Amino acid sequence: SGAGRNLDAILLPKVECAAHVQALDLLLTQLEKEHGLDVGAIGIEPQIESARSLRNIDEIATASPRVQTLVFGPADLMASVNMRTLVVGEQPVGYDTGDAYHHILMTILLAARTHGLQAIDGPYLQIRDLDAFRRAAGRTAGLGFDGKWVLHPTQIEAANEIFAPRQADYDKAEMILDAYEFHTSAAGGGRGAVMLGDEMIDEASRKMALVVSAKGRAAGMTRTTAFVPPAP
């Protein structure tokens, strides 16, 4: 109760089913009413940490309007499926092709996107191995995750860098948005597909650019190029 209105969300570990989320929702509602807080303001972040929770992920994601984020809990999930490694986040012994976590990560990501939630990767426990942390974070950032837990201050800068777009990608995204807005307008000819340099851009390009642009703006990035409409 001391945190009061400063409390944004609560991580809920070991979630197995919707009932676990709903129980916390009820408890939070009771506490909010008791302490005069806005009912429903405190979010819930379920952590997906077992085979059962992964199977029940859609019902977990929709168990309460408070659910904001789906979080991957790698260590417990690895134990749940009997994965043959003791290094959290690393490939198991004998798995020499592909990524042993790809199905898990994509299941969490697709559920999050389906239900309008954030997808957050879990921690990398070897805190002194920053290169390995970067490798693990780069994997989930590339898939489309919104962020990753950090366990040590040395991981913060790396995480911020990896989950923000590269400057060239941010500049290109903003350029696509400006160019598409101009060319689809009456002044630009009202066209639905146009060329930007050697690349055709259309509505799908705009949607992809919006993702990169939003992440860049959230990271406080400033564009270094500007779109100049072609002369009439």
DSSP letter for each residue of 30-97: HHHHHTTPPTT-SEEEEEE-SHHHHHTHHHHHTS-TTB-EEEE-HHHHHHHTT-S-SSTTSPPTT--S
* Residue 3: pLDDT over 80: no
Class of the CATH domain delimited by 4-163: alpha beta
Tell me the per-residue pLDDT of 98-119, one tens digit each, with 9 for 90 and over: 899 999 999 999 999 999 999 9
pLDDT at 226: 85
**pLDDT number for residue 97:** 84
Q: What pLDDT is stored for residue 186 in this prediction?
A: 84
Q: Are 49 and 14 in contact (CB under 8 A)?
A: yes
How high is the pLDDT of residue 197? Answer: 83
- Interval 123-131 mean pLDDT: 92
Quick one: angle between helices 102-114 and 130-143, nearest 10?
50
Query: Which residues pair with residue 9 across a beta bridge?
Result: 43
Predicted confidence (pLDDT) per residue in 80-101, tens digit = 999 988 888 888 888 888 899 9
Q: Is the pLDDT of residue 77 over 90?
A: yes
Q: Which of residues 189 and 61 earns the better pLDDT score?
A: 61
What is the per-residue pLDDT for 32?
93
Confidence of residue 24 (pLDDT cuts 50, 70, 90): very high
121: Cβ contacts below 8 Å, ≥ 6 apart: 72, 105, 136, 137, 140, 145, 147, 148, 149
User: What is the per-residue pLDDT across 166-193, written as a single tens digit (0 to 9) for each?
Assistant: 899 899 999 999 888 888 888 888 888 8
> What is the pLDDT at residue 191?
82
pLDDT (0 to 100) of residue 86 = 81
Q: How confident is the model at residue 2 (pLDDT cuts 50, 70, 90)?
A: low
List, as own/partner pairs, every contact residues 212-219 make where C-beta atoms lie below 8 angstroms and the sequence separation is at least 24, other chains included: 212/165, 212/169, 212/170, 212/172, 212/173, 213/170, 213/173, 213/174, 213/177, 215/163, 215/164, 215/165, 216/164, 216/165, 216/169, 216/170, 216/173, 216/174, 219/160, 219/163, 219/164, 219/165
Which range has the top average pLDDT, 14-28, 90-104, 158-172, 200-214? Answer: 14-28
Model's pTM, two decimal places? 0.84
Q: Does residue 1 register a pLDDT over 80?
A: no
Mean pLDDT for the stretch of residues 54-69: 98
Q: What pLDDT does 134 receive?
A: 95
142 pLDDT higher than 60: yes
Please report the pLDDT score of residue 111 as a whole number. Answer: 98
Q: What is the mean pLDDT of the chain?
A: 92
